[in-house]
Amino acid sequence: MSKTHPELKKYMDKQVNIELNGNRSVSGVLRRVAATLPVAFLENEFNSLNKLSVLAKSREQSVQVQEMLQNLSQHIPQLDKILLDIEQTAEKGVLYIESPNTFDVDLPLICSYLAYWWQFGPEGPNRPSLPITQVSSEHINRFFCSLLLLMRDHIGREIAPWLRRAHPSAVPLIQFVSCDPVKDYLLPVAEHLRNMAEKAYTEEERMRTHPDEADDATVAE
């Protein structure tokens, strides 16, 4: 297959950005819905045990309705699959421009989903007698560490709008993190920030003490 023409690729990227920006509010709605639905929709294997789920009453429905509900469930992504995709994205160092849907949709969705459903999981204070979710600290630890890796790789990059949107979604998760992410995840992020701050300070000092060089650089650009 021949390579995509540069102008065509540029046009396609522009159209994708326009589409994403036009539906940015929808992504926010999806994040909020994840924390308000009374059904763990990313774990359909438990929905038949949740009295608020239509699947719990599917036996009372006709065979056609049961088949329809089963087919619909198969098209909903599963929690473990999304978590694995996010982990692989973080480990491979995938950037926002390469997979914007992961950052704009999956990350805020999983943030809200895990923060809400942990309380009903095996470790939560509100777990029911019959399991309706398997969300645990292990899920949150995996996701939180992957999120820190993604943040580290995007700090200082020009195209990383998801970083400022990640904060309100990620903060509620911190209280449920049971691992120690400081050494392997938080310190690298802090180190990266420090290096960037030192670089910016050095550049500002150079421009302050040698303004002529700064003017020459501006003219050259």
The pLDDT tens digits of the residues spanning 22-69 come to 555 455 667 777 777 888 889 988 877 877 776 666 666 667 766 776
Residue 21 lies in a domain: yes
**What is the average pLDDT score of the chain?**
81
Percentage of the chain beyond pLDDT 90 is: 33
Same domain? For 39 and 148 the reply is yes
Same domain? For 206 and 111 the reply is no
Same domain? For 165 and 221 the reply is no
Same domain? For 102 and 23 the reply is yes
Same domain? For 151 and 199 the reply is no
Give the CA distances from residue 65 to residues 54, 56, 72, 130, in Å, rounded to whole numbers and listed in that order.
10, 13, 11, 24
pLDDT at 169 over 70: yes
Among 179, 195, 211, identify where a domain stops.
Answer: 179
Q: What six digits make up the tokens of 207?
A: 């421009």
Residue 46 is given by DSSP the state G
- Domain, as residue range, for 50: 6-179
Other beta carbons less than 10 A from residue 112's beta carbon: 21
Count structural domains, the chain: 2
Residue 21 is predicted with a pLDDT of 60
Same domain? For 188 and 132 the reply is no
Q: Please name the residues in contact with 109: beta carbons below 8 A apart, sequence gap of 6 or more.
A: 30, 31, 34, 82
Residue 188 lies in a domain: yes
Residue 63 lies in a domain: yes
Phi, psi of 194 (to 5 degrees): -65, -45
pTM for this predicted structure: 0.75
Residue 24 lies in a domain: yes
Same domain? For 14 and 41 the reply is yes
Same domain? For 168 and 195 the reply is no
Same domain? For 137 and 76 the reply is yes
Phi, psi of 211 (to 5 degrees): -60, -30
Same domain? For 135 and 158 the reply is yes
Residue 1 lies in a domain: no
Q: Tell me, what amino acid is at 149? A: L
Same domain? For 159 and 199 the reply is no
Residue 143 is predicted with a pLDDT of 96
Residue 195 lies in a domain: yes
Q: Tell me, what amino acid is at 214? A: A
Q: Please name the residues in contact with 207: beta carbons below 8 A apart, sequence gap of 6 or more.
A: 213, 214
Q: What six digits make up the tokens of 128?
A: 């029911």
Of 215 and 167, which is predicted with more confidence?
167
Residue 212 lies in a domain: yes
Residue 140 lies in a domain: yes
Residue 83 is predicted with a pLDDT of 97
Same domain? For 111 and 216 the reply is no
**Highest mean pLDDT range out of 25-29, 31-35, 158-162, 211-215?**
158-162
Residue 125 is predicted with a pLDDT of 95
Q: Are 206 and 213 a contacting pair, CB within 8 Å?
A: yes
